[in-house]
Amino acid sequence: MAKAALLVVDVQNDFFPGGALPVPHADAMIPDLDRVISAFADAGLPVFFTRDWHPVNHCSFKALGGPWPPHCVQGTPGAEIHKSIPMPAGSQLVSKGDDPDRDAYSGFQGTDLADRLGKLGVTDVYIGGLAVEYCVRTTTKDALLDGFAAHVIVDCVGGLEVRKGDSAAALREMEDSGASTVTSSEVIALVGAQQ
């Protein structure tokens, strides 16, 4: 039987309005995401949070030739998980992007996330968070490459939309790679049925 885990990608202050690299309307997804997190916690299913954990001299920053302003710098308020998003007892935190010379959009890149999921017997990962064209997309594709069934929760993601249509294109790309798209209500019903 399938065992599900929830991956909450980079819901850090810097990616919300007022942060260093804000995703437009990111606040709008919080209520749905909170309900999904609660459903997984109530069912005793694993919940993982990924976070960017950049050193001050990270290669993705504009000052070092990268595309982004400094964001999610280790130990700063911008790197903290948004206060309106609960981290249930027993949830696990996965830090990425902590090597100054390597970019790491995916929660699987340079981390032990795949091993942690495997040890728990997880077969299916449900993914929400920010930003859909970057860290959500690469995390989803890497989950598939590591042999997990991947499901993107479409009302629990948000996009930077550097170019108009980027978010929709990213969702199509993930589906073309073998991921499915689901709504928060569908996930909550599915998780409730597993209890």
Choose the catalytic residue: 10, 14, 103, 155. 10
- Laid out side by side, the sheet with 180-182 consists of 92-96, 47-52, 4-9, 124-130, 149-158, 180-182
Cβ atoms of residues 157 and 132 within 8 Å? yes
Sign of CA dihedral 167, 172, 177, 181: positive
Choose the catalytic residue: 14, 32, 52, 96. 96
- Whether residue 96 lies in the annotated active site: yes
CA 133 from chain centre, in angstroms, equals 11
Sign of CA dihedral 131, 16, 116, 112: positive
- Whether residue 10 lies in the annotated active site: yes
Q: Which of 45, 54, 37, 53 is nearest to 3 (CA)?
A: 45
Choose the catalytic residue: 72, 135, 142, 155. 135
- Whether residue 135 lies in the annotated active site: yes
Residues designated as active site: 10, 96, 135
